[in-house]
Amino acid sequence: MMILFPLFLLFLAGIFLTQRVTSESSPGLKFALTFPPQKSAQPLDGRMLLMISDNDSAEPRFQINDGPNTQLIFGLDVEGLKPGEPALFDKNVFGYPLKSLAEIPPGEYWVQGLLNRYETFHRADGHIVKLPMDKGEGQQWNRKPGNFYSLPRKIYINPKEDKVIPIVLDQEIPPIPDPPETKYVKHIRIQSKLLSQFWGRPMYLGAHVLLPEGFEEHPKAKYPLIVFHGHFTYTFSGWREEPPDPNLKPDYSERFGIHGYNRIVQEYAYEFYKYWTSPGTPRFLIIEIQHANPYYDDSYAVNSANLGPYGDAITYELIPYIEKKFRGIGQGWARFLYGGSTGGWEALAAQIFYPDEYNGCWAACPDPIDFRAYTIVNIYEHKNAYYVDSRWKKTPRPGRRNYLGEISATLEEMNHRELVLGTKSRSGDQWDIWEAVFSPVGPDGYPRRIWDKMTGQIDHEVAAYWREHYDLRYILQRDWKILGPKLKGKIHIYCGDMDNYYLNNAVYLMEEFLESTTEPYYEGEIDYGDRAEHCWNGDHSLPIYLSRLRYHQFFIPKIMERIKKSAPPGADLKSWLY
């Protein structure tokens, strides 16, 4: 009876909700999503999401992606939504990949709701914005602690049926525990004065720090610093201090077509541990920066009108703090950058924007570094991002391919998925973070769109702003007389010529400029992997599914070569080489 009575009340609430919503809206199938007062007695802001799947291989919230196997998702902004008040999904609510509930074929489906909660920020620029603050999960809406969701329910759906299906979000994603520390791996978190001033509340920067072998035994040693740029990670990635788990159940990597790839990952992480602690390995500090923010799982490590001064905060607050705490040398000649994809762009951008603070970058498969090739779009000349400019044809622009050129997603599809996840660049995903980082602030306090998210129509005024502030090739060419002498020998870029996201196109344009440089010649390196996909890092000796697991072993020898060539007279080249 103690179990049945609450269920009976929920049943009655569903009947009442059905009657109330039906009387207030147009005919047709609807879903009414609510959260109970037990979860929050206060009204909430956020993005309400409805997910529908034709299978139960995983919860629907984990089946939304850009690939052919994606399931369905629909989204609504909610402001001041009260407990028990329904967020109503009908045929007019935009969805992905089907644009309307009315397009769903009748049948049985697994249905789930989720509220991605927003917080209010009073920024220093005077704007008040509502955004999903990161909660230690790396800006993942389907895993964010504090978000409400419902358990999946198997429901018969007929979009022509005039009824309301109530969905109660009575579950809450729990907090994430702090990552453990070891002899080698430490975790740093500091409050940033610069970012706190910008956002109007305490804001933090963090890092996973990998200490060198012998750190405690050599208290007088001071170490060069490597910044391994990339996405959010729970702890230091690619590191394992014990052999692979013999009881690990082999998984299947759809991307690489390999069974047991999870074991390979553990094997290579342990191999890195053995390399790191071996007698012949140079001793460095390596850090992975934790800069998840209200827009994405990292900041792109530059100053931005919408995200704030992350570039300065990282370079002048976080890194000096780490160097002081862990005995870094603390000079520009002894700092280095590498990373892939987002991390590749960050490594190159940090080197360009702070040329004296770093002594070399190795950028693998970087995000677009020339906006004439913003993946497949020339934002300065094309009129539309989603379709080839044509009077009579409507040819879609591709968004993702494999090494054979087979297309699995278009730019329109990828951007429409983000639009469902969040309006005003709030999806927490790739295209929206580029917009948030690169764009000026709009009149409403949110990033100005580089193109209309629904139609793809490009705003060339915004594009001109992007060029002056973040088009890395353009900036290098514009300012080479100043930057060239500071960057000589520091730029190294690698990309597969069949990058899944067409990132090689921008690298070609960057190479064209760098190879034309004089006074000085750039004296760096650009290399391509034949038929290599995302994210090839310059290693010709291994297939990409292995080379991506060996960034440190691959780049540390290159850094040592750079140190030998460029260390200034009197530089400490002994205390850390033991």
Asked if the model's pLDDT at residue 431 lies above 90, the reply is yes
Asked if the model's pLDDT at residue 12 lies above 60, the reply is no
The answer to whether residues 16 and 32 touch, using CB atoms and an 8 Å cutoff, is no
pLDDT score at 1: 32
pLDDT score at 471: 98
CB atoms within 10 A of CB 544: 21
Distance CA 242, CA 247 (A): 14
Q: Which tens digits make up the pLDDT trace of 35-58? A: 999 999 999 999 999 999 999 999
Domains, in order of start, for the chain: 23-172 (2.60.40), 185-242+281-369+472-566 (3.40.50.1820), 372-468 (no CATH)
3-state SS, one letter per residue, for 372-431:
HHECCECCCCCCECCECCCCCCCCECEEEECCCCCEEEEHHHHHHHHHHHCCCCCCCCHH
The answer to whether residues 228 and 515 touch, using CB atoms and an 8 Å cutoff, is no
Q: Which tens digits make up the pLDDT trace of 152-194? A: 999 999 999 999 999 999 999 999 999 999 999 999 999 999 9
Task: Name, in order, each residue with C-beta under 8 angstroms of 440's C-beta and a sequence gap of 6 or more.
Answer: 305, 447, 448, 462, 465
The answer to whether residues 47 and 77 touch, using CB atoms and an 8 Å cutoff, is yes
Q: Which element (helix H / strand E) includes 96?
A: strand 95-96
Long-range pairs of 537-545 with CB within 8 A, sequence gap ≥ 24: 537/340, 537/364, 537/365, 537/494, 538/362, 538/364, 538/492, 538/494, 544/256, 544/496, 545/253, 545/256, 545/258, 545/261, 545/264
Instruction: Identify the residue whose tokens are 């890395």.
Output: 472
pLDDT score at 176: 97
CB atoms within 10 A of CB 372: 18
Distance CA 545, CA 554 (A): 14
Q: From the centroid of its chain, how far is CA 40?
A: 29
Q: Which element (helix H / strand E) includes 74?
A: strand 72-81
Higher-confidence residue: 11 or 292?
A: 292
Asked if the model's pLDDT at residue 30 lies above 80, the reply is yes
Q: Which tens digits make up the pLDDT trace of 59-96? A: 999 999 999 999 999 999 999 999 999 999 999 999 99
The answer to whether residues 54 and 117 touch, using CB atoms and an 8 Å cutoff, is no
pTM of the shown model: 0.94
| Biggest CA pair distance of the chain | 85
Q: Which tens digits make up the pLDDT trace of 300-358? A: 999 999 999 999 999 999 999 999 999 999 999 999 999 999 999 999 999 999 999 99
When pLDDT is averaged across residues 390-395 and rounded to a whole number, the result is 95
Higher-confidence residue: 109 or 5?
A: 109
Best CA proximity match to 336, nearest among 354, 324, 318: 354
The SS3 call for residue 489 is coil
For 25: left if phi > 0, alpha if psi spans -120 to 50, otherwise beta; the answer is beta
The SS3 call for residue 447 is strand
Higher-confidence residue: 22 or 576?
A: 576
The percent of residues above 90 in pLDDT, for the chain, comes to: 95
pLDDT score at 27: 82
The model's confidence at residue 139, banded by pLDDT at 50, 70 and 90, is: very high
The mean of the pLDDT values for the chain is 95
